[in-house]
Amino acid sequence: KKKKKKKKKKKKKKKKNILASCAGLEVSRNPSLMANAEGRILRADLAVTFGERVFYIDFSLRSPFVENPPRDATSHITRAVEQKKQKYDALCQQMQAEFVPFIMSSTGSLSEEAVEFLAILAALIAKNSAISYGRALADVKRFVIQPVLRRLAQDIMIAQNSVIRRHQGRQQPLPA
């Protein structure tokens, strides 16, 4: 039995990110940034390093329907980008790193910064893997956007469950 358990543990080794290894990238989750003006240590969602270039990425899902009625199709994305840049941009500049506010709308739109980062990533993969840019972009979408959507969906479910628990037993309807 012990031998079987050891074999299972070996199989559960942390899988290396295929996309990152193809592009020669180092990827880490929830990296700590330096303390901000208030002395709080900020964390990005992802750090991606390629040679001397370092990107700190913060993911967020936003809905255009928070405003009733919505101003336009992308104002919620623009506002979210401004908020993220206000929080992280100065720290990243001090660290000589690039900040990517990776904002996705619940309607499927991405921030310009997210689209640009995906294009840079696809170009790096195409160059280092000797595959076409189109193929590299498809891989980026599969390995980057799908996991981001899964993670954001999990976060939404956690938030919804929290609201439901707070309102259990109350006579008032749940907020829309």
pLDDT digits (tens, 9 = 90+) for 105-123: 878 888 999 999 999 888 8
Question: Can you tell me the distance from the alpha carbon of 51 to that of 101, in angstroms, rounded to the nearest whole number?
Answer: 21
C-alpha to C-alpha distances, 88 to 66, 122, 135, 136, 162, nearest whole angstrom: 24, 24, 32, 29, 27
Lookup result for tokens 């996705």: 104
Confidence at 19, pLDDT banded by 50, 70, 90: low
Question: Can you tell me the distance from the alpha carbon of 44 to that of 56, in angstroms, rounded to the nearest whole number?
Answer: 6
Confidence at 141, pLDDT banded by 50, 70, 90: confident
Out of 12-16, 23-27, 42-46, pick the least confident: 12-16
Q: For 60-68, what is the mean pLDDT?
A: 77
| C-beta separation of 110 from 4 below 8 A | no
Residue 122 tokens, joined: 């696809």
* Main-chain phi, psi angles of 109, to 5 degrees: -75, 150
Question: Can you tell me the distance from the alpha carbon of 146 to that of 140, in angstroms, rounded to the nearest whole number?
Answer: 9
Specify the pLDDT at position 103. 92
Pick the most confident of 22-26, 56-60, 159-163.
Answer: 56-60
Average model confidence (pLDDT) for the chain?
78
Q: Computed from CA positions of residues 166, 172, 173, 176, in that sequence, does the dihedral angle turn out positive or negative? A: negative
Specify the pLDDT at position 64. 81
**34 Cβ partners below 8 Å, 6+ apart?**
41, 42, 91, 94, 95
Question: Can you tell me the distance from the alpha carbon of 24 to that of 10, in angstroms, rounded to the nearest whole number?
Answer: 25
Residue with more model confidence, 43 or 19? 43
Specify the pLDDT at position 102. 93
